[in-house]
Homo-oligomer: A and B are copies of this chain.
Amino acid sequence: MADAPANDRELVITRLIDAAPDKLYRAWTQPELIKQWFAPKPYSTPLVESDVRPGGASLIVMRSPDGNEFPNRGVFLEVVENRKLVFTDAFVSAWEPSEKPFMTGIITFEPEGGKTRYTARLCHWSAADREAHEKMGFHQGWGICTDQLAALVATL
């Protein structure tokens, strides 16, 4: 199954979305679009800097309703236009190790019957980190964000 984790360190979310792959790719790579769906509302995404190329750095800041900010830093490992993005928080820039390698994200956009099979696969360095991510609300949070993403690409 496309949504089955390959092992106990992975979390996967997949959805068939009624939009072409290039629209989903744009929503994942253009800062002004990322700001519109990346954080589960009422959280917001006030800052996005994204250098979309292997070795390019990315900074996405999420803000809670009470004003706390949560910066997400990472580096792209692989970029296939309109098809695939791979990034990791193991580096803060090419190739400076981060404080803690927590996960690597593999995002794919595959054509499927005129729609797009959208899959986000999050690979953690340990089962404990996968479990922590799950307890932080991964499924609900990414579920809401995927709803927001699908609603956004419907308008593009």
Task: Answer whether residue A88 sits at the interface, using C-beta atoms and an 8 A cutoff.
Answer: yes
Q: Across the interface, do B124 and A97 meet the contact criterion of CB distance under 8 Å?
A: yes
Give how many copies assemble into the complex: 2
Chain A positions 89 through 102: 1 when the CB is less than 8 Å from some CB of chain B, otherwise 0:
01100111110110
Q: A86 to chain B: which residues have CB within 8 Å? A: 94-95
**A54-B54, A78-B54 are known contacts. Are A95 and B101 too (CB-CB below 8 A)?**
no
Q: Across the interface, do B96 and A77 meet the contact criterion of CB distance under 8 Å?
A: no
Task: Answer whether residue A123 sits at the interface, using C-beta atoms and an 8 A cutoff.
Answer: yes
Q: A98 to chain B: which residues have CB within 8 Å? A: 125
Residue of B nearest to A106 (CB): B95
Given A55-B78, A77-B94, A96-B123; 16 other pairs, CB 8 A cutoff: A9-B97, A54-B54, A54-B78, A55-B77, A77-B95, A78-B95, A86-B95, A88-B90, A90-B101, A91-B104, A97-B104, A97-B124, A97-B125, A98-B125, A100-B125, A101-B101
